[in-house]
Chains A and B, each alone.
Chain A
């Protein structure tokens, strides 16, 4: 299984709604990521979880709240969003670099991306 699965594929929400985006992988990856991509722009890093702990938060507004319940799942909770938050939200996962003397897989730098959740905020 070499997939990162994201649900829902499409989400339309009002500015007062609370919703969640979900991401799942079963590749044994211990790093997971949320990216945001607007049209004709590159993916922008939002959050990084490493071994289920938040390791990077790229100054993302608190209306976005990430959660990593276990090593296979990553959620992004959405509350009181603005229309400018409409975008494609991409989840990704990866191995972490092999520690010296460790038995982990060779690290290549590759992140495995899901197909994204297209969010529209009205």
Chain B
């Protein structure tokens, strides 16, 4: 039973445009939501997080939006750059998992120049 779902396995965007990556969750006890970027054979790199008491968090080109009633979050990257091409994982923690992160299956973002 997947608690964190990323339903789009891949996304292709042109350089300079907006990338929107989506994530849904089922566990209402989650209290932190994070986005990680990953390249093959490397550890995940933290991008941005949001706590469940907020609905938006912004850091440079990256903005995360949280809709608790819909149990949905999204990552916006504006403007997208070719160096953003990677696998993006949505993750959540809280409830029985405690501080451990539960990951979605990931979305592969390809940004073309």
Interface size, A (range): 20 to 34
The answer to the question of B42 belonging to the interface, with a C-beta cut-off of 8 Å to chain A, is yes
A43-B46 contact in complex given A56-B98, A109-B93, C-beta closer than 8 Å:
no
By beta carbon, the residue of chain B nearest A95 is: B99
Residue of B nearest to A47 (CB): B100
B102 contacts which of A45, A115, A116 (Cβ < 8 Å)? A45
Q: Are A43 and B103 in contact (CB under 8 A)?
A: yes
Interface size classification for chain B? 20 to 34
- List residues of B (30-46) whose CB comes within 8 Å of A's CBs: 31-34, 36, 41-46
- Could you tell me the distance between the alpha carbons of A90 and B41 in the complex, rounded to whole angstroms? 10
* Interface residues as binary, B23-58 with A (CB distance below 8 Å gives 1, 0 otherwise): 000000001111010000111111001010000000
B positions within 8 Å CB-CB of A = 31-34, 36, 41-46, 49, 51, 89, 93, 97-106
Binding site for B on A (CB under 8 A): 4, 31, 33, 41-45, 48, 50, 55-56, 88, 90, 92, 94, 96-97, 107-116, 118
